[in-house]
Amino acid sequence: MLERLNQALDQLERCLDQEVDVAELARIAAVSEYHFRRLFSALAGMPLSVYVRRRRMTLAGAEVLAGERTLLDVAVRYGYGSGEAFARAFRAVHGVGPGEARHRGAVLTAQPRMSFRVVVEGSSTMRYRIIEKEAFRVVGRKARVPLVHEGVNAAAMAHVESLGEQAIVRMKELSGGEPEGVLSAVEHLTDSREEGAEVDYWIGVVTGPGAGAEELDSLDVPAGTWAVFDNHGPYPSALQELWRDVFTQWFPSNPYVSRPGPELLRTQPVEIGAETDSQLWIPVERVTAGAV
């Protein structure tokens, strides 16, 4: 899969001065557009759209400094309909306008070309199983919080602490499916996996379709395939490392891609830094052997 991803990046480089066809990039990578965007964001640490903009501005910056084209010609070449729009984008990346850069010989910011590879450390293994699950419903309370890659997510902790005992008791009464008990669920609102991107964060339980309570929120999840990862380690660092490894090592090495759906986490509440057992559920679908 990594070879195909790098072929897609080669194609991206060839069309930076035209409309980028993300569906074509996904076809080259032999994955869905949805998975391509999410996998790129997880591997690169930024959304695909941000990488494209930075690469375009890197090439545009070199042309601005060269002085062989007018600023408007450079703007049009890289997809901007006006000099003003180009200047705003240029300044956002380089911290200086294109006119100033040309006249003053300013120091610009370059976004290097990316390529992906898997670093095999061999010091740990990933325990997982594949489960086919019927449609279900998550019932609980949700809040919009930012992604945090390392350390405690203060917004998520505040949401947990805001739940009253009555709400938790009601959730437990409704629990009726695997994974059992009170869990968290994350719905990604965009393809971005970068630090600070907003997600819908649920605390709730799995129930059957149609079950619920008026005082609680509900999320219907269609039937599908799930990769379930077992984890043991200090909270929350071990879980954050597991999530990273799933996208940077497990997906590129296995015949599965991500699909739309919430990511579920069941873990025992413990003090920060204490050891705990956890289970991470990722919605996936299998791809044919020839596609990876």
CATH at residue 88: 1.10.10.60
Q: Which domain holds residue 78?
A: 2-104
* Same structural domain, 73 and 137: no
* Same structural domain, 158 and 275: yes
* Same structural domain, 67 and 169: no
Distance CA 25, CA 272 (A): 41
User: Is the model more confident about 126 or about 16?
Assistant: 16
pLDDT at 13: 93
**What six digits make up the tokens of 107?**
């120091």
Distance CA 27, CA 229 (A): 28
Is the pLDDT at 132 greater than 80? The verdict is yes
Domain membership of residue 226 (yes or no) is yes
pLDDT at 156: 92
Torsion angle of alpha carbons 22, 26, 29, 31, nearest 10°?
Answer: 160
Would you say the pTM of this structure is higher than 0.75?
no
Distance CA 229, CA 261 (A): 16
pLDDT at 7: 93
Domain membership of residue 119 (yes or no) is no
Is the pLDDT at 170 greater than 70? The verdict is yes
pLDDT at 292: 45
147 near 197, Cβ under 8 Å? yes
Is the pLDDT at 208 greater than 80? The verdict is yes
pLDDT at 200: 96
* Same structural domain, 229 and 158: yes
